[in-house]
Amino acid sequence: MSKEKIRLDKICLNCNHAVDQRYCPNCGQENTVSRKTFHHIFIHFFEDLTHYDNSFWKTIFNLFFKPAALTKAYMAGKRLSYLNPIRLYIFISFVTFLMISLFPNNTEKEITTTVIKHEQIIIPTIDSLHIEEKSVDGLTKVGILSQQNNDTIKKILQQTDKIDKINHNQPSPSVPKKEVADFGYKSIIELDSIQKHGSKKAQVSDTEYWFLKKWLTVKEENTNEQIIEKFTDSFVHNLPTLLFMYMPVFAFFLWLFHDKKKWYYYDSGIFTLHYFSFLLLLVLTLFYTDKIFPLFEKNQVMEWAHFSLKSLGIFWMIYYFFPAHRRFYGDKFVVSLVKSSVIIIINLVVITFLLVLFALYTYNNIH
């Protein structure tokens, strides 16, 4: 029972009904002080997280290790023993994408940069060697170069000098200096000019033209790295919405492959909520597995443990749907295997197509 102080006023704040005890007999709201301190909210959050009348951890355990057990229990009427499917999915989705977004993505890059800085080789200048002849001959005199290497370098320099003179007298073609993913175009003006006046071989299709024009437009105000960063941030930020919108489609395919008289669309919807919650929870687990193991001392045992755990997680992610489908819908093994395989293949094709469209939409909205 709650330990919060009961209000002296016996009128319910929610429905204005008379309250004789702690809870309103009309709407069920607890008649306690409505203004809470931040400390109370903070403690209350962790109490809900760790207790939920023991339903939270019980739900997570069944979701992770017992395929379809959670869905079957919920459909059997055991609603208070486990978390509500919608509430469970929203909570896991929020935690998963929040934790992934908060974790720094440039850890490896920073470590590599640090190592390179520490391992830089300091090459002395010729002036610091106090050589009177600032040339290849001077390096030979102090013993840095042998006479044989001296002669070889001089021949190379002479040939290079001749080539430079020849090239200097000839008009050099204007070759644009390429950067990462510049696609060979300097500006929109150049792209439009090639598209209008260039040969058919040099011209691009309408789709390519749209893509290149958008890229060049964005690139005028952003570097390549900034474009990639903005695209990734926007894609990851909106991915939970895409997954939530796709769940009814996934449930529809499940409903489509089963007896409509025995199984309602609602049943497949509950199964889908639990299945997607499992996928997100496992994605979060694998994500932190990749982040935690590198913190330990690098050796064969740790590398093997990391590889084994990650492989097991990926296998469980792929395999999970098959026993969950068979246990929930009750089909025979072969029938369930065929149905599960077809459903997975169809959904992979559809979600791949949607992800491509979503990526194009995200790309088109980069500023």
Closest CA to 312 of 351, 347, 341, 282: 282
By CB atoms closer than 10 A (0-12, 13-18, 19+), residue 19 is buried
The C-alpha atoms of residue 31 and residue 9 are separated, in whole angstroms, by: 9
Alpha helices, DSSP H only, in the chain? 38-50, 55-65, 69-75, 85-102, 107-118, 136-141, 147-169, 188-197, 206-219, 224-256, 265-292, 300-319, 321-329, 333-364
In this predicted structure, what is the pLDDT of residue 237?
78
In this predicted structure, what is the pLDDT of residue 101?
79
Identify the three-state secondary structure at position 11.
strand
The answer to whether the CB of 4 falls within 8 A of the CB of 32 is yes
Q: Phi/psi of residue 23, each to 5°?
A: -110, 145
Is this model's pTM higher than 0.85 or not? no
Alpha helices, DSSP H only, in 293-332? 300-319, 321-329
The C-alpha atoms of residue 156 and residue 150 are separated, in whole angstroms, by: 10
Q: Which residue has the tokens 């989705």?
A: 93
Residue 270, CB-side half-sphere exposure with 13 Å CA sphere: 20
In this predicted structure, what is the pLDDT of residue 67?
94
In this predicted structure, what is the pLDDT of residue 157?
66
Q: Per residue of the chain (367 residues), what is the pLDDT tens digit? A: 456 678 878 888 888 889 888 888 888 888 887 666 666 666 666 666 555 556 788 899 999 999 999 999 999 988 878 888 998 999 899 888 888 878 765 544 444 444 444 444 455 555 554 545 556 566 566 566 666 666 766 666 666 655 555 555 555 444 444 444 556 677 788 778 887 877 777 788 888 888 788 777 777 777 777 778 888 877 777 888 888 899 999 999 999 999 988 999 999 999 999 999 999 999 999 988 888 888 888 888 888 988 999 999 999 999 999 999 999 999 999 999 999 999 999 999 999 999 888 888 887 777 7
As a whole number of Å, the CA-based R_g of the chain is 33
User: Which residues are paired to 6 by β-bridges?
Assistant: 32
Give the DSSP letter string of 238-286.
HHHHHHHHHHHHHHHHHHHTS-TTT--HHHHHHHHHHHHHHHHHHHHHH
By CB atoms closer than 10 A (0-12, 13-18, 19+), residue 219 is buried
Q: How many residues comprise the chain?
A: 367
